[in-house]
Amino acid sequence: MLKRVHFGSSWLPFALVAPQIIITVVFFIWPASQALYQSLLVEDAFGLSSEFVWFDNFIELFGDEHYLGAFQRTIFFSFSVAFLSMSFALTLAAMADRVIKGATTYRTFLIWPYAVAPVVSGALWVFMFDPTLGIFTYTLGALGYEWNHKLNGGEAMFLVIVASAWKQVAYNFLFFLAAMQSIPKSLIEAAAIDGAGPTRRFFSIILPLISPTTFFLMVINVVFAFFETFGIVHAVTQGGPAKATEILVYKVFNDGFIGLDLGGSAAQSVILMLIVISLTVIQFRYVEKRVEY
């Protein structure tokens, strides 16, 4: 990772890494260690005194059914988002890989949701499903279904899942298509000569060969759903109704900034940190292993 030939200046390299290291320490490592420290404290309501309580905050969290509920909800939410957007993207990528004419045109039309901010995506979907005016609400009403995600928790969850998955389709599509296009044509031709039709080829050749990409995307989508959907939830449901869409990231924000429970919020932050760390480790261990053609 170091060049065979390198410079040996005394102060220059320190000056070069300084900006990044200073920002990293001040805004990343110091706050993270503060979160670690605070997670072991309990403060009174006015923030005047604090007491060192070891792991009480964590014990309390895992005894709190609201927190456990948020945990389960987040897992359900994340995997639903990953499954929905990946299966949709995989289908489209498989089709785009087949058609030679127009593949790039389709790509252009399919990738722009990537550029839409989560909160904007939330605004778009909340508008279409607005309980009084929404175009889908109207359509569902005509079909005899009364939609109101402001009252119905299940509907609210469905809405945030769809808004999140919609945004992720672009990303998944790009990676699936790139993975499929990097499979050597000769392999597909060999399978065709062996008598495998398009469908069979997809399941017996293409799908196994892109499995590293699938796994990688799985991790990326779960990370996205865990951490980057704050804007969607904030715009669409604010965690409601009755906490039906309160996912972990939303709860950290809510308990810390609105509820001002510093110790509890810090403990939640620490748990989230552990989740990111384990997901990052998984991602790094697997991304290295690419399929050899």
Q: 108-127: which residues touch other proteins (CB under 8 A)?
A: 108-121, 123-127
Bridging pattern class, strands 50-52 and 41-43: antiparallel
From CA 202, how far away is CA 58, in angstroms rounded? 47
46 binds other proteins (CB under 8 A): no
Interface residues for other proteins in 47-86 (CB under 8 A)? Answer: none
Among 106, 158, 202, 286, binds other proteins (CB under 8 A): 106
Interface residues for other proteins in 130-159 (CB under 8 A)? Answer: 130, 132-135, 138
- We find the least distance from the C-beta atom of residue 66 to other proteins, in angstroms, to be 19
- We find the least distance from the C-beta atom of residue 232 to other proteins, in angstroms, to be 9
Q: What Rg do the C-alpha atoms of the chain give, in angstroms?
A: 24
6 binds other proteins (CB under 8 A): yes
Q: Is residue 227 within 8 Å of residue 273, measured between CB atoms?
A: no
Could you tell me which of 217, 251, 256 has the C-alpha nearest to residue 233?
251
Interface residues for other proteins in 235-274 (CB under 8 A)? Answer: 235, 249, 252-253, 256-257, 262, 265-266, 269, 272-273
Angle between helices 56-63 and 262-287 (to 10 degrees): 80
Judged by DSSP in three states, 182 sits in coil
- We find the least distance from the C-beta atom of residue 99 to other proteins, in angstroms, to be 5
Say which residues have a Cβ less than 8 Å from residue 117's Cβ, sequence separation at least 6: 231
Q: Is residue 73 within 8 Å of residue 245, measured between CB atoms?
A: yes
Q: How far apart are the two ends of the chain, measured CA to CA in Å?
A: 26
181 binds other proteins (CB under 8 A): no
Of 46-54, 62-70, 76-84, 174-182: span binding other proteins (CB under 8 A): 174-182
Interface residues for other proteins in 183-212 (CB under 8 A)? Answer: 188-189, 192, 198
99 binds other proteins (CB under 8 A): yes
From CA 220, how far away is CA 92, in angstroms rounded? 19
- We find the least distance from the C-beta atom of residue 264 to other proteins, in angstroms, to be 11
Q: Is residue 8 within 8 Å of residue 25, measured between CB atoms?
A: no
- We find the least distance from the C-beta atom of residue 60 to other proteins, in angstroms, to be 18
- We find the least distance from the C-beta atom of residue 193 to other proteins, in angstroms, to be 9
Cβ nearer to other proteins, comparing 16 with 291? 16
Among 70, 81, 82, 170, binds other proteins (CB under 8 A): 170
Cβ atoms within 10 Å of 134's Cβ, excluding its own:
19
